[in-house]
Chains A and B, each alone.
Chain A
């Protein structure tokens, strides 16, 4: 420990403070998995057609604490869905969700899946989950990790409902359940 203490003394407190300030003002780096999940979610919007709703923006709702939210915010700044601006909203409960067309439930909120399924079973809403043992009934798409690779499972029944149309290539790219 002696040597470590010497090393710390060498760096004066002022320098350390400056260094810390510099670090906090810099942009943060993010993880691959969340980044690609967000990109996949964005890509789903290009491959699914929702019935006309009269809304002038496309909302994706995120449930739970996930970096997918931060990633989606970045994507929303740069891209649109058709001509509509993309809006990302974070929710803590299913009840709060009103206008989302995709609802992403992060794995730390798996307990809310059944509630979401019940609420959106008759609405044109895609429910996307992650890291559950198997895809719960009613969920449209589930992200799965296989050998460090990001894949997804997709339910034909729960995506092509309530007026939504799905590009058939999506069923080829994901594992149909």
Chain B
């Protein structure tokens, strides 16, 4: 079905909904306040509220909370580790409520972040998104392999860090919670490592789940929808709150989506050409292919890296790598939350499990731009507070297979965190909050510290657990003097690997000119954690390849190709911790009762960026007789600190308007420019090689090439400043909610971004340069409450802006029409 048809059907249904229900109203029965949701309470009119007894009114006030629907007045904790209104927060921040997410028909937590200013969210395949706060993505335009996943934003669920040390990122598909579980998402933009520790470099995303005691007694909720492309999204939860302070909530989530178009970008750009009798007669050039046959030539030059597999195909194990070519997302999760709240005690125990198989961008697999990832995770989290003392302990274990089954890149892990904090009011208007934390990450993976003698992945011997620990101490001080509020925070993080201490400072000042105008200024620094791949990768692979042309190798000689991957712990070099410093100023202004603006201007600079690049090539010719011999070509790839200094300058501008009681409008745009200072070509491994004049060094009977320090050998005269193009220069959105009658909510939301150009290292010395066109995506959701607490909705995603690739070399995302229910009673 084409987009036009789908759009027409959508409009007809919208019309039907509008006409059918415009004249209906609530029946005038007595209100049972204990059964109302916050949303329903906010919809009650004065007459209804004035009829209530004070006791009922207080119950409603408790359920509704006093945080207003005005977005700038929502309560936030993440921006200063203290509950305050968003208007007063000292850093750039946004609060997104679960209600607003559902109103916008959002299908996942990842997609919800499109409603947050300053966040770049691009859908790679159905249900899988690239998420960056303010950018700094794919920074080295000539890096051999780009790790496209975001490693510099700290993601937390109820302050539990879900960062994974394997590749140094968040596996969004493995979050054990989904849309229906969300109370709110707090997003802080800019470095916040002084408060939350490493990886809070470009920002913090803290997902706060619903409290089990939100309502007394039994409570059931579901936010589920289904639509075209076999999309099924199911979320359901049951909670029960007893009078003695105990409460429990159990939730389950299911997310299944098929791809809208099946195609794969072939990294080598070549495929075997066969004649009628199926005999290989040459090669043809390809870019995207609609079907995988195994004849697509991999980066290894058409050689089977697993010699036990049938070598008649260029990539014989493609079926293992891509078990379901039509799959976008298949994820399931459950979570349980037990809480005890009484007087000064607030104790929570949460546990969960998730499993996912997805296809998303990971251009390191030598074959295609998409990879199949399958992974699972379980966790337990105990947290709470007693008076001024708060604690948090959690343990996570799981496994990741990021390149499909049978690949080298897989690991099992155990990650534990402990955190203790005390809040001390030294005197009126002066509070300090000291704390310390400990983190241990234990990984056991095929690529980590392995020694391998054969190309067959199955023969890799593991080298035992690789462990990194982090011991941290921090203090945060806050002082208020009239309208001036100062916050200073300092954190020291001691890593086991590298043996270094990272210091992260943050200082902010806010000045409230009056109750409607606030200005603020802040400066902070943050460090990214080292991760397993860049510390402990140690992999040697070798396999025969055809004799390369142009090297004058006699026909009677055989060529053995050796690929060597090294993390910094397996090289004689010091690990440099990636660091960002940032300064920003901002203003929030409530122009009048229905119109507010929030502006922020930021400047930041990153240093010690490492990229995974080929650093040397060595060629040995070893004669075995007078006429025969072996040629060994050994390429070494490792993380190198390329000593560039990306700088970013930009601003985010948001407007919140409540022109009518039944109309909310939010518009936001971020404009930014990133310049890479002191750039030089990191794939030019020639320049890393002392005295080398071309790509190969030939020496007989010698050792593989020495890995050299890139910094030492970079030709500083050849450095230049580049404008970074992988982050769009503008991006933002608009979100409109209109309630013509109480029971009907019409939402239209849009997300837009400017053009981007990605440069993805393919692994064979060349890069794929992929342009992503500017796009305006429009979604719309109409929901109707057909019975108290029960809403039916129809949801159109990508109604405008569909059928486009939103990220380099990934899927075209089409229009989706879904229908669903949102139940709360």
Contact = CB atoms under 8 A, between A and B. Distances in A.
Contacts of B57: 36, 39-40, 43
A2 to B, nearest CB: 8
A173 interface: yes
B34 interface: no
B671 A4 contact: yes
B661 A27 contact: yes
Interface string A9-39: 0000000000000110011111111001001
Contact of A29 (B46, B594, B754): B594
B659 interface: yes
B496 interface: no
Given A40-B57, A170-B54, A29 B661 contact: yes
Contact of B50 (A7, A28, A75, A149): A75
B55 to A, nearest CB: 6
A40 B54 contact: yes
Contacts of B228: none
A145 B671 CA distance: 38
B54 A148 contact: no
B343 interface: no
Contact of B66 (A1, A4, A75, A145): A145
Given A3-B671, A149-B66, A23 B58 contact: no
Interface string B588-604: 00001111000000000
Interface string B52-71: 11110110011011111110
A149 B62 CA distance: 5
A79 interface: yes
Nearest to B594: A28
A29 B70 contact: yes
Nearest to A149: B62
A148 B49 contact: no
B649 to A, nearest CB: 11
Contacts, number: 92
A53 to B, nearest CB: 23
B796 to A, nearest CB: 24
Contact of A150 (B42, B66, B593, B730): B66
Given A79-B50, A170-B54, A29 B69 contact: yes
B61 A149 contact: yes
Nearest to B664: A29
B65 A32 contact: yes
Contacts of A7: 669
A164 B574 CA distance: 79
A123 B42 CA distance: 37
A148 B671 contact: no
Contacts of A23: 594-595, 657, 659
A18 B657 CA distance: 16
A170 B55 CA distance: 9
A169 B52 CA distance: 14
B658 A3 contact: no
B660 to A, nearest CB: 5
Of B46, B52, B64, chain A has the most CB atoms within 10 Å of the CB of: B46
A42 interface: yes
A115 interface: no
A5 to B, nearest CB: 10
B754 A3 contact: yes
Nearest to B663: A26
A29 B658 contact: yes
Given A23-B594, A23-B595, A31 B54 contact: no
Contacts of B54: 40, 43-44, 46-47, 169-170, 173
B65 A148 contact: yes
B75 interface: yes
B66 A36 contact: yes
Nearest to B41: A32
Nearest to B346: A147
Contacts of B46: 74-75, 78
Contact of B61 (A29, A44, A47, A150): A150
Contact of A28 (B62, B64, B658, B671): B658
B428 to A, nearest CB: 9
Contacts of A151: 58
Contacts of B52: 43
Interface in A127-177: 145, 148-151, 169-170, 173
Nearest to A4: B671
B576 interface: no
A26 B69 contact: no
Contacts of A32: 42, 64-69
A175 B667 CA distance: 42
A39 B669 contact: no
Contacts of A67: 593
Contacts of B287: none
Contacts of B657: 23
Contacts of A44: 54
B729 interface: yes
Contacts of A36: 57, 61, 64, 66
Interface string B67-102: 111100101000000010000000000000000000
A141 to B, nearest CB: 12
Contacts of B669: 4, 7
Contacts of A46: 54
B47 interface: yes
A148 B593 contact: no
A127 B567 CA distance: 71
B675 to A, nearest CB: 16
Nearest to B592: A28
Interface in B6-64: 42, 46-47, 49-50, 52-55, 57-58, 61-62, 64
Interface string B354-372: 0000000000000000000
Given A36-B57, A148-B66, A149-B62, A22 B754 contact: no
Contact of A78 (B50, B53, B58, B653): B50
26 contacts: A4-B730, A22-B659, A26-B594, A26-B659, A28-B592, A28-B593, A28-B594, A29-B593, A29-B658, A29-B661, A30-B593, A31-B70, A32-B68, A36-B61, A36-B64, A39-B49, A42-B50, A47-B54, A67-B593, A78-B50, A79-B50, A145-B66, A148-B65, A149-B61, A150-B66, A170-B54
The 5 closest A-B pairs by CB, nearest first: A29-B658, A31-B68, A33-B66, A43-B54, A28-B593
Given A39-B49, A43-B53, 11 more contacts: A4-B669, A4-B730, A27-B661, A29-B661, A36-B57, A40-B54, A74-B46, A75-B46, A79-B50, A169-B54, A173-B55
Interface of B: 42, 46-47, 49-50, 52-55, 57-58, 61-62, 64-70, 73, 75, 83, 592-595, 653, 657-661, 663, 669, 671, 729-730, 754
